[in-house]
Structure 1
Amino acid sequence: MGRSIIALDDLTVNNLGVFEKINEVSLPTTYPQSWYTASLSSSDVIVQLAFYSELPVGAIRARSFNNNQIRSSFAEAVNSTVLQKTPNCVYIESFAVLEKYRNLGIGSKLLSWVIEETKNRYIHEIVVHVQVTNEKAINWYLKKGFEKQDLVKDYYKEQGLESPDAYILTLSV
């Protein structure tokens, strides 16, 4: 059996810039440099890069937290230190696959990896916010078994997005 054309690998100091660039060109949101730096040092943060034929094409970052602490805005969620108290959920903070490499199974492989990491931490729920206008992403998550929950008004307000509202989607694992 041959080697898979899709491979996952850990984030390192040497590929941190690749992670930043994938997010920058794929997502409508931006993250501060401190968020990227914390990706290397926090034990609650789980990050993986996806490679297609050895080219970096996707990335996911999630962290364990207590879902009673879901914040009402993107900025509060990214900067909160309260999220580290008694984790009972894994929150997907960023999930990106370069547009030309979508629909090749890369996102599915990254999500499967997060599901396994969630189980390894004895946590049984994954949560993600998705911008209300991102119907492709919402439908993709629903096909993967996520359930649409609450609408969070102005979640992405500080990001300056035209449609700042987001849905919370959850998956029981």
Structure 2
Amino acid sequence: MNPFTFEKTATGSAIPYDLLLLADETREAIDRYIFNSEIYQLYDDTRAIAVIALHPNSTTELEIKNMAVVENYRNRGIGSILIDKAKAIAQQNGFTMLVVGTSDTGFQQLRFYEKNGFAKKGMRKDFFIENYPLPIYENGLQMRDMIVLAHDLSE
């Protein structure tokens, strides 16, 4: 049994920047996509423990723009719960493709998405250089390119 509650954040409600900033570097970067995205939060008994922001890129493609889990809930399957919820939302709304982008230095994230049914689809060259004012480092390497992964929901 799933002890968590999954809820869409109502339009006009406060944007959960504290959670979103766990997965994105700046509020300015979040503001580029969040107002055209639907935000969902996962709650335990007392508070929001995870967030996912979904953005329609077209009538067939839904993108995970942000997904984050608070630190003390990581490595417990929460990310996979969010992915399953995103797949269900996408299918219920007629999308046939769910996509996500992550850094070329995010080795753990790449493995996570592949484990959850995503396959590499492409790359957005110099994405992190062009979209963030300061260099960002992960695993001791400067983030440069975004790896785009896709999950075909029509299968």
**What's the TM-score bracket when you normalise by the shorter of the two chains?**
0.7 to 0.9
SS at match of 2:63: strand
CA contact (8 A) 1:7 1:51 kept: yes
Residue of structure 2 aligned with 1:29, choices 25, 31, 36: 25
* C-alpha deviation, 1:165, in angstroms: 1.1
Question: Could you tell me the TM-score, scaled by structure 1's length?
Answer: 0.73
**One-letter code aligned to 2:147:** Y
SS at match of 1:128: strand
SS at match of 2:127: coil
SS at match of 1:156: helix
Query: Corresponding residue for 2:46?
Result: 54
CA distance in 1, matches of 2:8, 2:24: 24
Unaligned runs of 5+ in 2: 137-141
Alignment of 1:94-173 (within 5 A): 94-157=66-129, 158-159=131-132, 160=134, 161=136, 162-173=142-153
Compared with structure 1, are the counterparts of its residues 30 and 163 closer, same or farther at alpha carbon in structure 2 (3 Å cutoff)? Answer: same
Overall identity of the aligned pairs, in %: 19
CA contact (8 A) 1:11 1:49 kept: yes
- More helix by percentage: 1
1:63 aligns with 2:55: yes
SS at match of 1:16: coil
The number of equivalent residue pairs is: 144
CA distance in 2, matches of 1:134, 1:144: 15
Structure 1 moving runs of 4+ over 6 Å? none
CA distance in 1, matches of 2:68, 2:33: 14
CA contact (8 A) 1:6 1:106 kept: no
CA distance in 1, matches of 2:24, 2:39: 19
1:67-118 Cα deviation digits (max 9, x unpaired): xxxxxxxxxxxxxxxxxxxx21001111111122112222122111111111
* C-alpha deviation, 1:28, in angstroms: 4.0
Unaligned runs of 5+ in 1: 67-86
SS at match of 2:102: strand
Cα RMSD for the two superposed structures: 2.2
**One-letter code aligned to 1:126:** L
Compared with structure 1, are the counterparts of its residues 152 and 122 closer, same or farther at alpha carbon in structure 2 (3 Å cutoff)? Answer: same
Residue of structure 1 aligned with 2:9, choices 11, 31, 37: 11
Compared with structure 1, are the counterparts of its residues 64 and 164 closer, same or farther at alpha carbon in structure 2 (3 Å cutoff)? Answer: same
CA distance in 2, matches of 1:166, 1:110: 21
